[in-house]
Amino acid sequence: MLELRNAAKMVGADYHIHATSLAFERGTLNVLLGPTLSGKTSLMRLMAGLDRPTSGSIHFDGVDVTGMPVQKRNVAMVYQQFINYPAFTVYENIASPMRIAGKDAATIDREVRKAADLMRLTPYLDRTPLNLSGGQQQRTALARALVKNASLVLMDEPLANLDYKLREELRAELPKIFAQSGAIFVYATTEPSEALLLGGNTATLSEGRVTQFGPTISVYRKPLDLITAKTFADPPLNFIDVVKAGGVFQRQNAEIFAVPSHLAGMADGPVTVAFHPHHLGLSEQTPGAVRLKARTQLSEITGSESFVYLDYDGVRWVMLAHGIHDIDPDTDIDVFLDVRHLMAFDTDGRAIASDATA
């Protein structure tokens, strides 16, 4: 188990990582999800031993490794910017951690060829990195991490430079590979959709703070606060400030729609309600969906789906509609909100308990 116990990192007077406590079990996949500069890489550097926390401690299998250098830890790291030995062939790049570990020649050859086959690198084993494409170089770095048989595998947006098909294949395969080895697998990404595809557990980050950690689907469906809900939303989360008054939500003293049953027990007063773009549609898809009037701003067609950007009472929303919908800007249209999935947050941004599912 890898444990961070109130680990914090300061640079000068600024916190790069606020006091963080996390525990990752062996054989688990753990996603760090957050926008650029949210602290994902800084947190991984603490886990690896590349940086030492300013305060707090880091433990591995119950042993305090806070001051232990990365060279003495069984850690493998892969970055978005591929890092390979330029003078080595692909074969020697992959073999390098096993040679350092003193493995015999037969074991090295077997494991190199196994990893190369998985990463579609077999035809390129005799080439040097400068004679490879960017995607091939990244696959070489992934293969080297794979054969190291590390206890902790840290991957910082490792698939960003790969082509779509290979990226989708590796998203499915990598967690299985490392889980079978019993390693702790930590994967950083800016993409909520990637976190959902990978599954496992997710820690959401914002400005150097871990806002929530738990099973990925649970964090997505039950965010503890508005920051987490926004972090775990792509396209962006839709939200609007309203006032609960008895059985209705009001805006500027006018009723906009009835409070759904899963939020009926909340106290009256100001609240922010939020929902994902796919819960807003152009037709009444479910019984009880609420009809609202909105004005279009822009339509974007992406194959079999369309993003329609809307103005609702001065608030910008985005709707994800199935099919091709090329709607002229500044058109008043009816949209339908599935209120069963509404999330609610108080004036401090904390989630109000409900039975909704995102």
Burial annotation 281-300 (CB, 10 A radius, 16+ → b, else e): bbeeeeeebbebebebbebe
Place of tokens 């190369």: 116
In the chain, % of residues over pLDDT 90: 66
Q: For residue range 211-234, what is the model confidence (pLDDT) as tens digits?
A: 999 999 999 999 999 999 999 998
Q: Are 288 and 294 in contact (CB under 8 A)?
A: no
Give the pLDDT mean for 13-23.
Answer: 95
Q: What is the pLDDT of residue 165?
A: 79
Evaluate the omega torsion of the peptide bond into residue 86 and state whether it is cis, within 30 degrees of 0: no
Q: What is the pLDDT of residue 232?
A: 94
Confidence band of 356 (pLDDT split at 50, 70, 90): low
Residue 4 CB partners (closer than 8 Å, separation 6+) = 20, 21, 22, 23, 46, 47, 56, 58
Q: Which residue has the higher pLDDT, 286 or 301?
A: 301
Confidence band of 133 (pLDDT split at 50, 70, 90): confident
CA atoms lying within 13 Å on the CB side of residue 286 = 12
Whether the per-residue pLDDT at 203 is higher than 80: the answer is yes
Give the pLDDT mean for 175-181.
Answer: 69
Would you kindly state where each structural domain of the chain is located, as residue ranges?
Answer: 2-231, 238-345
Whether the per-residue pLDDT at 304 is higher than 70: the answer is yes
**Token digits of residue 288:** 């009880």
Confidence band of 160 (pLDDT split at 50, 70, 90): confident
CA torsion through residues 225, 227, 231, 237, sign:
positive
Confidence band of 294 (pLDDT split at 50, 70, 90): very high
Q: For residue range 305-347, what is the model confidence (pLDDT) as tens digits?
A: 899 999 999 999 999 988 888 889 999 999 999 999 999 999 9
Q: What is the pLDDT of residue 241?
A: 95
Q: Are 7 and 204 in contact (CB under 8 A)?
A: no
- Angle among Cα 159, 69, 95 to the nearest 5 degrees reads 50
Question: In CATH terms, is domain 238-345 a member of 2.40.50.140?
Answer: yes
Q: For residue range 34-67, what is the model confidence (pLDDT) as tens digits?
A: 999 999 999 999 999 999 999 999 999 999 999 8
CATH topology of domain 2-231: Rossmann fold (3.40.50)
Distance of CA 60 to the CA centre of its chain: 24
Q: For residue range 231-256, what is the model confidence (pLDDT) as tens digits?
A: 999 889 999 999 999 999 999 888 89
Same fold, 2-231 and 238-345: no
Q: What's the pTM?
A: 0.87
CA–CA separation, 205 and 209 (whole Å): 5
Confidence band of 158 (pLDDT split at 50, 70, 90): confident
